[in-house]
Structure 1
Amino acid sequence: MKAFSYERVDSAEAAARAVVERPGAKFIAGGTNLLDLMKIQVEAPAHLVDVNRVPDLARIEQTPAGGLRIGTLVRNSDLAADARVREHYPVLARALLAGASAQLRNKATTGGNLLQRTRCYYFYDPARPCNKRAPGSGCSARGGFNRNAAVLGASEDCIATHPSDMAVALRALDAQVETVSAQGGRRVIPIADFHRLPEDRPQQDTNLRADEFITAVELPPPLPGVHLYRKVRDRASYAFALVSLAAVIELREGAVASARLAFGGLAHKPWRVEAAEALLRGAGDPRERVEAAADAVLQGARGQGHNDFKIPLARRVLAGVVAEALGR
C-alpha cells in the first residue's frame, strides 16, 4: 500500500470539495472494497476523505410520497434488517443478505456498494493488461479465463461485470440516487442511468461527475406483487453472482399484471429489458411466455468461451423465478 494523506469532513458539500481540491483523492466510508484494492495497488489514492462523521447520512426515513430515503452511510446489514425494508421491499433485503459476509455487511455502506469496482480477475492483477485499470493497455479477459465476464453490453475494450447484488434489486425497484456537488448543487439520477456500459471508457463505472458525492438512495412507494431474488454462484455464500435476478411480479387470478426483472452477473451494470417484462404480462400461463421473455433479455448476448454457460443459465433462472412466483 502506498502512503496517503487523510482527513475527516463534517458535511456532504465539504466531502465533494475535498475530493475536487486534492488530485488523486478518494472517499472512504466502510472501505470494504477500496482498502482491498489499495493493498494490491490497483487503487493508490494520494488522499483519503473520511465521510463517516457527516451527520444525517446513516438514516432510513419515510418520504412524503410514501417511499424510503436511505442515507449513503446506512450499513448493508442495517438496511437488510430494517422492518420497513423487510416488509415492503423484501427483494432488496434478500439481495443484500445474498451479498458478501455478515462481517462485510456490517461495514459496507449503501453508497459504497453502488460504487464498488468489478471483480474481474485481471482487474485485480496489476501484472496483466486491463483497460479498466490502465486505459489503452488491453483486455486480458478476452482470450483469458473469463468465467465471470459479461455476455451483454460488453465492448471490445472491456467485458467486466458489475458485482453488486444491492444494485440489481434497486434497478428492479426503479430507485433514484441523490447527489450533492462541491458547490452545493443537488442532482437526482435514476438508477437506470447511474451505472454505465464500458464502451470505449471502461475505467468509468458510473455517470457521477468528478465533483459529486452520493448522499442517499430513494425508493418509490412499495410495489405490489411477489418480491424474489435468486442468485446462482459457485459457492453457497460469499461468492459473486454468475447470474442473479431481482423480480417483482404482480399476479391477478393466475395472470401476470406487472413484472419487473433486473439481472445481475450478465453486464457492466444491472440489466433490465422492459420489452421482456411486457412479454410476461397478460392472461394465460406466463410460463408459456418465458422463452420469449428470455429471448428479449438476451438479445445480442455473446459468450467469451468460459462464460458461454451464462446464456442458458439466465433462461433457467428466469423460468425458475416465474415458477416460484406462481407457486406463491
Structure 2
Amino acid sequence: MEAIAYERATNIADAVKAAREPGTAFIGGGTNLLDLMKGGIAHPLKLVDITHLRDDGLDAVRALPDGGIRIGALMRNSDAANHTLVRERYPLLTQALLAGASAQLRNMATIGGNLMQRTRCPYFYDTAFAACNKRAPGSGCAARDGYQRLHAILGASEHCIAVNPSDMSVALAALDANVQVVGPDGARQIPIGEFHRLPGDRPDVDTTLRPGELITGVDLPPSRLADRAYYLKIRDRASYAFALVSVAAALQVQGDKVAAARIALGGVAHKPWRASIAENVLIGRTLDDETLREAAAAQMRDARPQHGNRFKVALAERGIVRAVNVAAGREPAGVTGAPA
C-alpha cells in the first residue's frame, strides 16, 4: 500500500493552503478519483477533504444579480439537476446531468468533480498497457493502433486520441458557463471553453487549472434559450454508459428564423467541442432539413477519424440534426438518452 496523508479542510482558505504541497489532490464525492487510485493510475501523496467546507454557497444554487445563476462546486449532480432554478432556466443542463452515470453516482458526484473527471479510454485505465501518454507521458498511445470506437475525431494529436467523458460539461459549453476558482494567487474565472485542454504534446494535463487551485462554482449567464433546448446522448445502452456522440442544442427563434443557436458536442474530442460552425450556418435562416444537414456537414468537415471510429462522423452529423430538430419542436424528444 502507498502511504497517503489526509487533511480535512473547513474553509476555502485552509483548503488552498493545504494543497500547496506537491502531489496533493482535493477529494469531494470521489467517484472518479478513488477509481483512479484503486486502479494504480492516480498516486496522490496527500488528500484534502473538501466535503466539510463551511463557506456559503458551495453546496447550493443561487441567483445572480444579472439574471444568471451560480452552482456551488460541492453541490451533488442530482441536486443540481433537480433544482428549480436549473430546471426552469437551464433545462439543457438538467437533461445533461440526468443523462450521466447512474442515479447512485449522481447522488455522490459533485459539480466540481464532474468538471475534473478523466477520460475512460481503456488504455488509460489498463496499466497492463505501457503505452499511454496521458497516464505515462512519453510512453506512446496504444489506442492509435488498437480499439478506437470510443475515441476522438476532432482536436486529437499524435500523442492522444482520448475523449472527455462528461455530459455536464457539454451542456456547460453550449451555455457559455464560467468556472470559478480560488488558488494561491486569489480568485479568477475560467470560461468553460478554456477550462479543458486539447491534448497537444501534453495529454497528461487535462485542464488549465494552476497548481493548488480549487473549483468553487460554475456561473451560468442569463439565457433566452430555455424554451428550445435538448440534450441528445447516443450510447450503447440507455443507462450507465458513456456517449459515443452527444449533442447539446439550444435555440432562440424569432418568427421563422433562428436568432441564436448554441450547440456543443461530446464524445468526439479531448474537451467538449463547441459547434460554432454549425451555429453560424443556422443563425438568420429558417430551419429546414436542407439547412440542418448543411450546418452539420460544415461542422464535421474538419473531422479526422481513426480507422476504428469513422462511423462517428456521420453519427455526429445526424446527432446535430436530430438534437436541433427536437430543440426546435420539429421532432418529438422520445426517450432522453436512449440509443440511436
Match of 1:45 in 2: 44
Gaps of 5+ in 2: 331-340
Match of 1:26 in 2: 25
Query: Bigger shift: 5-14 or 28-37?
Result: 5-14
SS in 2 for 1:327: coil
Matched, 1:9 2:6: no
Asked whether the equivalents of residues 16 and 180 of structure 1 are also in contact (C-alpha less than 8 Å), the reply is yes
> Stretches of 4+ moved more than 6 A in 1?
none
Aligned residues: 326
In the TM superposition, what are the counterparts of 1:298-309 in structure 2 within 5 Å?
A: 298-309=300-311
Post-superposition CA distance 1:187-209 (Å, at most 9, x none): 01110110110000000000010
Match of 1:287 in 2: 289
Q: CA deviation at 1:271?
A: 0.5
Post-superposition CA distance 1:285-314 (Å, at most 9, x none): 342212321233213211112211110000
Post-superposition CA distance 1:66-118 (Å, at most 9, x none): 11111110000000010111111000000000000011001100000000000
SS in 1 for 2:273: coil
Post-superposition CA distance 1:46-76 (Å, at most 9, x none): 1110001111211111111111111110000
Match of 1:248 in 2: 250
Match of 2:335 in 1: none
Asked whether the equivalents of residues 121 and 150 of structure 2 are also in contact (C-alpha less than 8 Å), the reply is yes
Asked whether the equivalents of residues 120 and 148 of structure 1 are also in contact (C-alpha less than 8 Å), the reply is yes
In the TM superposition, what are the counterparts of 1:82-231 in structure 2 within 5 Å?
A: 82-128=83-129, 129-183=131-185, 185-224=186-225, 225-231=227-233
TM-score (normalizing by structure 1): 0.96
Identity of aligned residues (%): 56
What is the distance in 2 between the residues matched to 1:222 and 1:282? 18
Aligned-pair RMSD on alpha carbons? 1.3
Indicate how the Cα distance of structure 1 residues 319 and 296 shifts in structure 2: closer, same or farther if over 3 A, else same: same
What is the distance in 2 between the residues matched to 1:276 and 1:264? 15
In the TM superposition, what are the counterparts of 1:261-272 in structure 2 within 5 Å?
A: 261-272=263-274
Asked whether the equivalents of residues 2 and 41 of structure 1 are also in contact (C-alpha less than 8 Å), the reply is no
Gaps of 5+ in 1: none
What is the distance in 2 between the residues matched to 1:300 and 1:4? 45
Q: CA deviation at 1:325?
A: 2.9
Q: CA deviation at 1:156?
A: 0.3
What is the distance in 2 between the residues matched to 1:105 and 1:199? 31
Post-superposition CA distance 1:23-43 (Å, at most 9, x none): 211110000000011111111
SS in 1 for 2:88: helix
